[in-house]
Amino acid sequence: MNRTRLCLWLSLVAVACSKVGADPVAPPAPPVYTIQAGFADEAPETRSRLDFEETQARVLWTRGDAFKMLAYSLEDGKLHGKTYTTQDDGVTQATFTSSSSSVLSGRYFVCGYPSSVFTKAGGHDTADDSFIMITPVPTRQQAVPGGLAEGLNRAVAWSDKPDADLKFHNMLSIVRFRLDGGIVPDVTSVVFDAGTTVAGKASSYRANGMPTIDFSHNWTAEDYPRSSTIALDGSFDAGTDYCLALVPATLPAGFNMYFCNAQGDTLYKHSSKPMTLGRSRIVDLGTICLGDSWKSEKPDVIEYVHQTKGKRKNVVAVLADGFTAAEQDKFELLAKSGVDYLFSVEPYKSYKEYFTVYLFRVPSNESGAGVLNGDVPVVDNAFGSRWSTGAYSDMTADDDKIVAFLKTHCPEVVSGELTYQDVPTLLLINDFRYGGICHIYRSGWTYAQVPYQYEGGSISWSFPKYQAVNERNDSEGSRLTTDAERDEMGRHVGNWRNTLLHEFGGHGYGRLTDEYWSETTKYTEPGALPGHSYTVPYALNVSGYYDSVPWQSDLLDHLDEWTDLNPDYGRIGIWHGAQTSLYYRWRSEKTSCMIDNRPYFSTWQRILIVRRIMEKAGETFDMDDFIAKDVTVDPIRPVVPATASAEERSRILLKTRSQALLVPEMPMLPPPVEHLEEDF
């Protein structure tokens, strides 16, 4: 896939940054304490002004600048703070005064500039006799010709007494660029995509005597969620310097930038050159040539399902992997077939109007997927899908490439309406081998890998051969599943589209876990499921405790009412065996898509999926509305009329058994890969 290259030159020039362009403010109240403050006398090559009139320049304070001093009181053990403000302007060493009458006392003092953004994170002291502060770095910043917007710079100073002269150190890195081309006056936003987290609620502290800012602590981030992109909003002029501030980072794979206008057009640029964004440094990208047209190279995208309901876009992305340019029509045909099947199954069928589904025709240089055990050479496909022959539990892809693709090609992600975490992704793989897996991140993003296994040929999956004798514990061991029990649930014959339903419809979108089990996998005691506490909960369809299942209050406590509405709800209960284990994991119905990939989700699974749909579409889940729309039919269960004779019943059940025996029975698909990372 060809990419437009950036017209840029890279010059690493260090900087000690200062806020510029502040308006004069009224004089403060009479001072109580006075402190002299300047910027640290670091190596000359790390000094530069943001107006760029000199390559080695002074760092200037601006009238109205203020910093906050924080300290733990030696008397009451509590945190106290004071704000200091300066009326000096254009000087390297300014006088700051405070109108507070309180007296700060403590073992050490931490000062943060600007004063409004530093807050203490309780209970975290560092080895350098300091404490950790929470320092938000905005993901949207205002474009200012020649510098940074007011208050964007972050700087800290430390002292062992409250009246010592201070030397501030800059915390962030600066990216500088200029634009050229006829479309520059139309640009309203420039987005820098680092591919790793560079903005959001961060930690700042002192380490080895130097300032540090990073994302090593998992702060709650309602106001400043972590992001790998920073948008610079405003109007732009050709040939003018613009800057954005971000947390220092290393970008081994380069970066992406995209440029947007008010009409929603986007121009994409990419640089594969590795880059280091150092603290207190300017990385100068030089002049970026945008040209005179908003035309941009990007892969074909088809909006196959158009959303008509919901207050918020609910987007699904289907990406081609291992399909060459000549095979894109094949991808489109298969993708449409798979999506059609997904929306033929409840509850997706009844809630299709709440979805937007994009099909991305992404060409690979070679067909197929790679083989990890070396049977064939590595395949040069678009997203690196690969797995071992005969294993398939190690299926993986290059998630960085998938995320980068979504950020630069998924319309709602590019526009900023959604983040990539909001877009569950399906990789449809041009490979005939058996497999299928889903990667689930605690932040909410998922991607499922589904190969065109056996080139569309039939596959059967079986209900587990053993089950626990005691539904509550393992005290009575296990027993064989009887033929009558298998007949009751039916034998499922499907194909690769059922893999898609299980891996993407169940795991990827619904965030359900597996409900099958093996006689050789046995938890030995009850226990909480970690996924229940994920940022976006996962595996709520399974319980680790018999006495407190997640579906108790909604279903079991009202089971008589549910059954009066529809006898099919009588399937609801607490059944032993789930999440690959024969013991100490419980599910809500005997069988479902999360066991043998059949086109049927259990009642509790349907509720969880619909709640997910409503949440992503910005709507409120209503149980009465759910019941009114709910369809309980399981098409795999044999339909035996109540009036059927014993002979007729036997004939119907024998037919379903025979159909299953005609196709290969495959093992259950591997459990999802659970990733603890919040971001890339």
- Cα–Cα distance between 424 and 323 in angstroms, integer? 21
Could you tell me how far CA 131 lies from the centroid of its own chain? 30
> Per mean pLDDT, which of 64-78, 113-127, 522-536 is the most reliable?
522-536
Contact (CB, 8 A) for 96 and 165: no
Q: Give me the chain's average pLDDT, please.
A: 83
CA distances from 168 to 34, 38, 61, 242 (A): 16, 6, 11, 24
**SS3 at position 626:** helix
Answer for the pair 113, 156: CB distance below 8 angstroms, yes or no: yes
Question: Does the pLDDT value for residue 233 go beyond 60?
Answer: yes
Residue 259: strand pairing partners? 190, 267
Residue type at 309 in one-letter notation: K
Q: Of residues 572 and 443, which shows the higher confidence score?
A: 572
> Which amino acid is it at 517?
W
Name the nearest CA neighbour of 381 among 451, 465, 307, 478: 451
In angstroms, rounded to a whole number, what is the distance separating the alpha carbons of residues 443 and 653? 45
CA 214 to chain centre: 19
| Cα within 13 Å of Cα(127), Cβ side | 5
User: How does residue 596 score in pLDDT terms, banded at 50, 70 and 90?
Assistant: very high
Tell me, what's the pLDDT at 661? Answer: 63
pLDDT tens digit sequence for 431-486? 989 999 999 998 899 999 999 988 787 888 888 999 999 999 999 999 999 988 88
Task: Please write the tens of the pLDDT for every residue from 393-402.
Answer: 899 999 999 9
ω into 347 cis (within 30 of 0)? yes
Do the Cβ atoms of 70 and 120 come closer than 8 Å? yes
pLDDT for 326 equals 81
Cα–Cα distance for residue pair 610/275, rounded to 1 Å: 43
* Three state DSSP letters for 260-315: EECCCCEEEEEECCCEEECCCEEEEEEEEECCCCCCCCCCEEEEEECCCCCCCCCE
Average pLDDT of the segment spanning 49-73: 65
Model confidence at 26: pLDDT above 50: no
Residue from 599, 598, 603 nearest 588 by CA: 603
Residue-level pLDDT at 14: 30
Q: Report residue 475 CA to chain centroid gap.
A: 42
| Chain centroid to CA 216 | 17
Give the Cα separation of 96 and 65 in Å (integer).
Answer: 9
CA atoms within 13 A on the CB side of 435: 29
Q: Identify the band that residue 21 occupies on the pLDDT scale cut at 50, 70 and 90.
A: very low
Q: Which of 73-82, 157-166, 355-364, 459-468 has the highest mean pLDDT?
A: 355-364
The confidence band for 372, taking pLDDT boundaries of 50, 70 and 90, is confident
Task: Report d(CA 135, CA 217) in Å as an integer.
Answer: 12
Question: 300-343, pLDDT tens digit by residue?
Answer: 899 999 999 999 999 999 999 999 988 888 899 899 999 999 99
Q: Where are the domains of the chain?
A: 11-289
Rounded-to-integer distance, Cα 503 and Cα 508, Å? 6
Interatomic CA distance for residues 28 and 513, integer angstroms:
60
State the SS3 of 635-671: CCCCCCCCCCCHHHHHHHHHHHHHHHHCCCECCCCCC
Confidence class for position 538, pLDDT limits 50, 70, 90: very high
